Amino acid sequence: MITAIKGDREEKPVDRLEHIFELQERFDRDLARRRQLPDYSPAEWIQKEVLAIVAELGELLDEVNFKWWKNPHPLDHEAIKGELVDILHFLVSMCLKAGITAEDFYQAYLAKNEVNFRRQQGLTDQKEYAAGWADKEE
């Protein structure tokens, strides 16, 4: 938790994920107003933002020497961070368009993380995650 947001007069505990969602909601409203964007449906917004994420993923690939046929360049961690933050902007915006709150997203992440651990430990009935390919214990 951070204790205060810039510009706040009183210090209070702030949930970082909730803060990101709030900032994104403000940005999305401002963007739509400034750019006089059409009143897209949530599905149309999400489609556009998925494509934006695909474009950002391409930029991220360029930063991590995806083009094996070219001479590699040193990794620029700030540029990588910037691309990941761009992706997060669109991801959070899609959550908002789908009516998913920061708390919803956090709880879904926790649940899926547990499922993923169980799969990797061979503790699932799904055949594609069958035990035996690796040790079950650490």
- Greatest CA separation found in the chain? 57
Q: Does domain 16-115 have CATH number 1.10.287.1080?
A: yes
Give residue 74's identity as a one-letter amino acid code. P
Q: Which of 115, 117, 119 is nearest to 130 (CA)?
A: 119
* Distance between CA atoms of residues 24 and 91, nearest Å: 10
**Which pair of tokens denotes residue 106?**
């956090």
Phi then psi for 96, rounded to 5 degrees?
-60, -45
The predicted structure's pLDDT at residue 98: 99
**Residues 73-112: pLDDT tens digits?**
999 999 999 999 999 999 999 999 999 999 999 999 999 9
The predicted structure's pLDDT at residue 18: 98
Confidence grade of residue 129 (pLDDT, cut at 50, 70, 90): confident
* Distance between CA atoms of residues 56 and 83, nearest Å: 6
> Does the structure show a pLDDT above 70 at 72?
yes
Q: What are the sequence ranges of the domains in the chain?
A: 16-115
SS3 state of residue 14: strand
Q: What is the mean pLDDT of residues 113-130?
A: 89
CA torsion angle for 62, 98, 44, 52 (degrees, to 10)?
A: -10
Confidence grade of residue 126 (pLDDT, cut at 50, 70, 90): confident
